[in-house]
Amino acid sequence: MQQPSCPPPPSRPAAAAALLVLADGRFPAGGHAHSGGAEAAVRAGRITGPDSLEDFCRGRLHTAGLVAAALAAAACAGLDPVELDAAADVRTPSPALRATARRLGRQLMRAARAVWPAPELAALAAARPRGAHQPVVLGAAARAAGLTPHDAALAAGYETVSGPATAVVRLLGLDPFRATAVLARLGGELDEVAGRAVAAAGRAATGGTGELPAASAPLLEITAEAHAAWPTRLFAS
Amino acid sequence: MHRDHPVTFPGRHTHGAQAVRPDGRRRALRIGLGGPVGSGKTATVAALCRTLRDEVAIGVVTNDIYTREDADFLLRNAVLPAERITAVETGACPHTAIRDDISANLEAVEELEEAAGPLDLVLVESGGDNLTATFSHGLVDAQVFVIDVAGGDDIPRKGGPGVTTADLLVVNKTDLAPYVGSDLGLMARDAKAQRGGLPVVFTALTRPGGVGPVADWVRGRLAAWRTGGTQ
């Protein structure tokens, strides 16, 4: 069950710069091999250039992104990560996406434990040896790095759009400057999503994980199932 | 401040490179095979499996770029039982998956050892790449770079990290040399100049026993690994 109150993060130096390390696209946690649904959207003709990429990313940010950001913020605030992992499961209908989230969570856990060793990370790894959902691990890693729940929400939300944007550069040969400009244009909305995520995490601290958002993008879930069965693809998801 | 485990393995580069598994057993020796597209990486892996599978327990991780072609080739040819072969997807970046972000390959290697182990040897085959492709020391203990004579006899002279630093350079398809106008003597001299004392072997995998020199090199590595060294 939910802990009645969140324990304070273990004492450590203030570490705002750790956010740059955690959110760096070169952080070695396996994200480079995943497109966040963009490969399926490109194949279906729904992403053809910068404008449709922006539409796709906006949709993902306000659905999967919001949920991921709230889970990460809650984990960073010290809510029980095993409870949050169950909350992530029920918010992810597609078995293929659940498997991807756990695989990426396990890969992130490996990197995070090497970079920011902490007993709480070791405990979560032991409780979920096959991997916890990636946003939960991201929040726990942010906590181990001395970051705030808002930092964790920003990092989780950013990942949900930066992954598709870089994937589409590879898939379509899209001009990388225009792809990155999409991410910059979404900055204000990302801030807003992170704010909502932190507020939800705050409510969940007293009201339980039912307070966390459960927004979903059905097309992402459906196309993820189809994509997982493709015999030929560039990205793992 | 608690920075790391109290006991660190000397010379390790990442957690994944620790030589001892959590249960205390020494893990399998990990050998990476890289090289340009079509040089014979998968053929080398298949031949190594056929030659060594009665001596040691082998697992294989393939890094296909956009298909399961390599893993399927190995399965079709039944060089190993299916549970000893697994594939990693690399997101259009084969060199990233073996060098810059090795997390997926480490997962695959460890899952193989857990599911099909204990293993003595895990071969990690890179997706076909270019002359700069090398493996992270956090992923493998030694690496083989496979080129072929048909790619041009100037490849050893061009050098690059794969040709220059791999623990073993394999020059494959020597049987084609007369047909493509490649000078094997020139390749050998250039390779020696680029690599100093590091070994180079010439193979014709289509001939019986063609993988012999590579298998012998792997046997030497295995013997050293078993006695605690990595060289």
Interval A182-222: pLDDT, tens = 999 999 999 999 999 999 999 999 999 999 999 999 999 99
State how far the Cα of A103 lies from the Cα of A15, in Å rounded to an integer.
Answer: 27
Nearest CA-CA partner of A87 in A210, A183, A201: A210
- How many angstroms away from the CA of A63 is the closest CA of chain B? 24
Contact B15/A113, CB-based, under 8 Å? Answer: yes
Q: What is the DSSP letter of B20?
A: B
What is the domain partition of chain B in residue ranges?
23-226
A28 and B103 in contact by Cβ < 8 A? yes
How many domains does the structure of chain A reveal? 1
Query: For residues B142 and B131, what is the distance between their CA atoms, to the nearest angstrom?
Result: 17
> b/e map of A57-78 (b: 16 or more CB within 10 Å)?
bbbbbbbbbbbbbbbbbbbbbb
In this predicted structure, what is the pLDDT of residue A139?
98
B158 is in an annotated binding site: no
Establish if A184 touches chain B: CB-CB under 8 angstroms.
Answer: no
A9: pLDDT strictly greater than 70? no
- Point out the residue among B4, B16, B90 whose CB comes nearest to the CB of A117: B4
A106 contacts in B (CB within 8 Å)?
107
CATH top-level class for B23-226? Answer: alpha beta
The amino acid occupying position B11 is G
pLDDT at A31 over 80: yes
Which residue, among A183, A133, A127, has the nearest Cα to A154 in the 3D structure? A183
Say if the Cβ atoms of A234 and B103 lie within 8 Å.
Answer: no
Cα angle for residues A169, B95, A101 (degrees, 5° grid): 65
Angle between helical axes of A81-90 and A134-144 (0-180°, round to 10): 150
DSSP strand E in chain B: where? 29-34, 58-62, 85-87, 121-125, 142-148, 168-172, 200-202
Question: What crossing angle do the helices spanning A95-115 and B103-116 adopt, rounded to 10°?
Answer: 110
Q: Is B103 annotated as a binding residue?
A: no
Residue A167 contacts residue A36 (beta carbons within 8 Å): yes
CA distance A72 to A59: 19
**pLDDT for the residue numbered B229:** 63
Average pLDDT of chain A to the nearest whole number: 94
Q: Hey, is B129 helix, strand or coil?
A: strand
Q: Is B146 annotated as a binding residue?
A: no
* Share in percent of chain B as helix, strand, coil (round to 5): 40, 15, 45
Report residue B82 as tokens.
């299916």
Digitized pLDDT (tens) for each residue of chain B, 231 residues in all: 344 444 433 333 334 467 887 777 789 999 999 999 999 999 999 999 999 999 999 999 999 877 777 888 888 888 899 999 999 999 888 889 999 999 999 999 999 999 998 999 999 999 888 888 899 999 999 999 999 999 999 999 999 999 999 999 999 999 999 999 999 999 999 999 999 999 999 999 999 999 999 999 999 999 999 988 654
- CB-based contact A236 B4, cutoff 8 Å: no
pLDDT of residue A3: 47
Distance separating alpha carbons of residues B30 and A108, to the nearest angstrom: 22
Q: Is B20 annotated as a binding residue?
A: no
Nearest to A28 among B68, B102, B107 (CB): B102
What is the spatial distance between Cα B155 and Cα B148, in angstroms, rounded to a whole number? 9
- Structural domain boundaries, residue A170: 51-208
Backbone angles phi, psi at A129, to 5 degrees: -65, -25
Integer Cα distance of A212 and A192 in angstroms: 16
Q: Which of B5, B100, B107 sits opposite A106 (nearest CB)?
A: B107
pLDDT score for B12: 36
Q: Which of A26, A171, A232 sits opposite B67 (nearest CB)?
A: A232
Interface check A12 vs B, CB under 8 A: yes
Q: Is A29 on the interface with B (CB under 8 A)?
A: yes
B7 contact A CB<8A: no
CA distance B225 to B231: 7
What the block records as the tokens of A213 is 């958002």
ipTM field = 0.84
For B149-205, how does the pLDDT look when each residue is reduced to its tens digit (9 = 90+)?
A: 999 999 999 999 999 999 999 999 999 999 999 999 999 999 999 999 999 999 999
Residue A222 lies in a domain: no
For residue B16, list chain A residues with Cβ-Cβ distance below 8 A. 110
- Is A100 a domain residue? yes
Interface contacts A/B by beta carbons within 8 Å: 69
Nearest to B140 by CA among B102, B169, B170, B112: B102
The pLDDT assigned to B17 comes to 61
Residue owning tokens 């695959």? B108
The confidence score (pLDDT) of residue B67 equals 73
Residue B68 in tokens: 């399961």
DSSP for A194-236 reads: HHHHHHHHHHHHHH-GGGS-----HHHHHHHHHHHT-SS-SS-
Query: In angstroms, rounded to a whole number, what is the distance separating the alpha carbons of residues A202 and B78?
Result: 55
Shortest CA distance from A235: residue in chain B: B91
